[in-house]
Amino acid sequence: MLCPLGRLSTPSARLRRSQAGSADCVQSKLLPGKEAVKLSSEPLIAPSHPIARLPGEWEACVVGWGEPAYRGRQIFDWIHRQGVLDPGEMTNLPKSLRQRLEDEGVGWPMQVVSVHESSDGTKKLLVAMPDGERVETVLLPQIDDAHVVTQCISSQVGCAMGCVFCASGVAGLKRQMTDAEIVAQVLLGRRQLTPDQRIRNVVFMGMGEPLHNYEAVARALVLLTHPAGIDLSKRRVTVSTSGLVRQIDRLGRDFHGQVQLAISLHAVRDADRSRIMPVNRKHGLEELTDALRRYPLSKRQRITIEYTLIEGVNDSIRDAAEMVELLRGIPVKVNLIPMNRISASELRAPSGGHVTRFQEELTRRGLSVFIRKTRGDDVAAACGQLAFHGESRRSATHRGSA
C-alpha cells in the first residue's frame, strides 16, 4: 500500500508540451538578466518534471502566467527547502496559482511503497514511479552520531554495467531515472527522519551507473546543492562510477572537482577486472587512472577507491601490492568492502582475518585504508543487495560500490 504522501504526479499533456518548448517554462526564455545554469560550456538539459525546475526557471514560468517573479522563488522554496509538493499546501500562494500548479502536474513523481528498518537503524525505502518501475534508496544514520544521516540514492532502474558481484548489474538496465526522480528520493528520505535527524551526505551508490545517466544526474546535483533548496554542500555529495572516463572528465569540468568522486575499482589487473567488470574492456586501468590524475582536486581532497573483496579473485597480497603501484601519485583513500552475498552469484567475501591482513598490507605500503562496516544486511540493504520487488520481481537492486 502506498504511503499517503499526496497525489502521485504524472505530467499532463500541456506540461509535456511546455517542456518541449513553450515560451513560459523553458530554459531559453529566462527573465532578462537571468542566465541559464551552464555545466562547463553546455546548459543543463530541460527539466523532465516541474519539481526539477530551478528558481530562475520557475520565475520564467510564473511571469508567463501573469504572476510576479518572486512567486517562482516561493514555489522552489516550498518544494526543495520545505519538501511540500502538494500545491494545496503552499499557503502563501494565491488560490489561482495553486490551481495552475496542480494543472501543470506539480506533485510527487514517486511514492514510498514500503520501509524496512534494520536493527542498526538503517532504513531501506522501496519507492514506486507512475510507470510501475520501482527502485530502493537507503538512509544510513552515522554510527557515532545517529542524528547525522547519509542517504544512498539510485540513478537508473537497473544497470547496464554487468558487474558480476552486484545484483543490479546482473539484472541489466530497464530505464534511466529522470532528474526529478533522482531528487525526489532525497525529498522522500527527509520525511522518514526523526525531528532531530538531518541528511548531511548523499551518495550516488544505489542502483545504476550515475555517469551513464549523466545529464539527469548533473541537473539533480545542481538541485540538491542549490542554496535556496536542499542546500547540500558539494563536498557532501559523492558520485560513484565504475570508470566511464569521458564522463569523469566532464564531471570534473562541470563541477570544478567540488563533487566528491568514488571509483569502483575491484581489481588491479586488466584481465581480472575485465572478467568481473565488463566496463574495463572499454576503459582499461591505464586510461582510468589517467582520468583520476586529471580530476581537479583541492589540496586536502581525495578520490575514494571502492574495492569489494572477493575470495580467491582479488584478495591476495599480490593484489594489495599492485594496487599501491597502480594508484601511486593519486590522492586516494581506499574503502575495502567484504562482498555481500547475492543470490545470482556464488562469489563470497574472504574471512574477516584475511580482510584485516589485506588492509594491513595496504597500510604498510602507505595507503589510507578503511574497512566498510556492513550496514542493513538484515533487511537486504547492504552494498549490492537491494533486489527487484513487486510483480515478477520488477524493481531493482542497490548497486552499492559496483
Active site members: 136, 383
Q: At a CB cut-off of 8 Å and minimum separation 6, what does 106 contact?
A: 9, 50, 51, 75, 79, 85, 87
Residue 365 in grid coordinates: 605500503
- The string of DSSP codes covering 181-215 is HHHHHHHHHHTTS-TT-EEEEEEE-SSS-GGGGHH
Q: Do 399 and 207 touch, CB atoms closer than 8 A?
A: yes
Cα dist from 345 to 82, 257, 384, 398, whole Å: 43, 36, 11, 15
Taking residue 208's Cβ as centre, other Cβ atoms within 10 Å add up to 33
Cα 360 to Cα 352: distance, rounded to the nearest angstrom: 12
Letter string b/e over residues 152-166, b meaning 16 or more CB atoms within 10 A of that residue's CB: bbbbbbbbbbbbbbb
Instruction: In whole angstroms, give the CA distance from residue 333 to residue 88.
Output: 47
